[in-house]
Amino acid sequence: MTNTVNARPATSAPGSSRQPRIAVIGGSLTGPVAALLLLHAGFDHVAVYDAAPATANLGGGLIGLEHAALDVLDRLGISQDEFVAHDSETIWQIPIRDRREAAGRRQVYPGRNTTWTLLHTALARRLPAGLLHTSHRLTGLDATTGQPTLHFTNGHVAAHDLVVFADGRSSTGRRLLDPDRALRYAGYVAHRGHAHTPAPALRDFLRLEPGPGCQYNVAPVLGGLDWTLYLNASPAEYADRFGAPPTRRLFALPQHVSPAARAHVDARAEQLLPAEHAVTVHTTTTRMAVPVMDIDPPTRMVWPLGGGHAVLLGDALAPVRPHTARGANNGIEQAAGLIAALTQHRKYRADLDAALHGWQRRHLPAAIAAVHRGPAIGARLGLGDTAPGAVR
């Protein structure tokens, strides 16, 4: 199976009555949103491919959705009651001095907080039977048949007119289409956990800043509290604590969190955080960790392949640091814009190449801005290799 891309000029036929065959790669959040939007717009030949098996135990932490993304979900008929457990829009930014809270600053978040798990569940239950193909790990993409053709490790081969890559920050699509843009470790780790509490008194999102080299975020979620503790770590320290280098282990699942990693986080929480938050960290049984990564800004979102196209969305296009809170938002907003462009082509005979490049022109600047914003936030917090005064 090949892993090369044939980038011959596209020869689209505007206004063709034939329904295009569209493949969506990735079954996390952006992929299902794109698939549901396509179905909602009347595209019938849609398939979603996901590398994870159907029996995989999937879950994730807190994410913020801004109003534009929430409106997309509204249009799909997904009520916020399904995925928003607490409707507070308040963020408290609180300096910490000697483990005590100083006067905080209130901000109003233009959106709502949810968790990956709640939103993914709401999306997955709406995917029609047979649309999602699990255990399909992509290995290659070519256009030898004249159309984008996908090759999977299980031997499946599928030709499509459009391939939408929404396969996350470790995207195979990005590796195939834009191989010069590799992820690089930023020098710090997002340690996170879910603390089970029967009725948390906390209603708002708290952002605690003890000083350079640390940030602690905590917010109420269904069944407890979700917390993230950002701490600097060298590549060797990450490998020692999680069993592989950060560029190879992009997600440290609970089974990867070593006793040494747990002890390190507990010690730093005890040293830096107010007592009640240190206790929350210490008593959290199940933990995960995510190495924070950077990438060069994208220069394009669309690739012609024979008579078809491939596109990158969300984290597949441009993973951003979690401080920006733009990962899910970028993906959902880009998906909505893409389906709008495709609809103009199908319903009103708009030139497909022009429609796709118009979509790229509208959404690429926001993706680039988010890529640049992450390191600036990290530097202010003393987080990362390039942050002045960074400490571990």
Res. 119 pLDDT band, cuts 50 70 90: very high
369-389 pLDDT, tens per residue? Answer: 999 999 999 999 999 986 655
Give buried/exposed letters for 320-330 (b at 16+ CB in 10 A, else e). Answer: bbbbbbbbbbb
11 has pLDDT over 60: no
- Which pairs count as long-range contacts for 125-129, CB under 8 Å and 24+ apart, including other chains? 126/32, 126/36, 126/76, 126/77, 126/78, 127/32, 127/35, 127/36, 127/48, 128/39
**Is the per-residue pLDDT at 116 higher than 70?**
yes
Taking the mean position of all CA atoms in its chain, how far away is CA 168? Answer: 6
> What does the mean pLDDT of the chain come to?
92
Max Cα-Cα span within the chain: 68
Comparing C-alpha atoms, which of 257, 324, 310 is closest to residue 10? Answer: 310
Helices 259-272, 275-282: crossing angle, 10 deg rounding:
170
The one-letter code for the residue type at 34 is A
| Residue 5 confidence (pLDDT) above 90 | no
**pLDDT on residue 45:** 96
Cα(90)–Cα(87) distance, integer angstroms: 9
pLDDT digits (tens, 9 = 90+) for 98-107: 999 999 999 9
- Tokens coding 215: 């940030």
Question: Which fold is adopted by the domain 86-115+185-294?
Answer: D-Amino Acid Oxidase; Chain A, domain 2 (3.30.9)
CA gap 204, 221 in Å, rounded:
10
Residue 14 has pLDDT above 70, yes or no: no
What was the pLDDT predicted at 158?
Answer: 96
Domain 22-75+117-182+296-380, CATH: 3.50.50.60
213 phi/psi in degrees, rounded to 5: 90, 10
- Arithmetic mean of pLDDT, 135-144: 96
Closest residue by Cα to residue 300 from 247, 353, 373 = 353
Residue with more model confidence, 199 or 90: 90
Residue 277's pLDDT band (boundaries 50, 70, 90)?
very high
pLDDT at 6: 40
What is this structure's pTM?
0.92
The fraction of the chain above a pLDDT of 90, given in percent, is: 88
Confidence of residue 4 (pLDDT cuts 50, 70, 90): very low
Dump pLDDT digits (tens) for 144-195: 889 999 999 999 999 999 999 999 999 999 999 999 999 999 999 999 999 9
Q: What is the pLDDT of residue 9?
A: 35
Percent pLDDT > 70 in the chain is: 93
Structure tokens at 306: 């024979």
Backbone angles phi, psi at 271, to 5 degrees: -80, -35
Q: What pLDDT does residue 375 have?
A: 96
Distance CA 314, CA 308 (A): 21
Q: What pLDDT score does 197 carry?
A: 83
Name the pLDDT band for 17 (thresholds 50, 70, 90).
low
Average pLDDT for residues 336-361, to the nearest whole number?
97
Break the chain into its structural domains and give their ranges: 22-75+117-182+296-380, 86-115+185-294
Q: Could you tell me the pLDDT band of residue 54, with boundaries at 50, 70 and 90?
A: confident
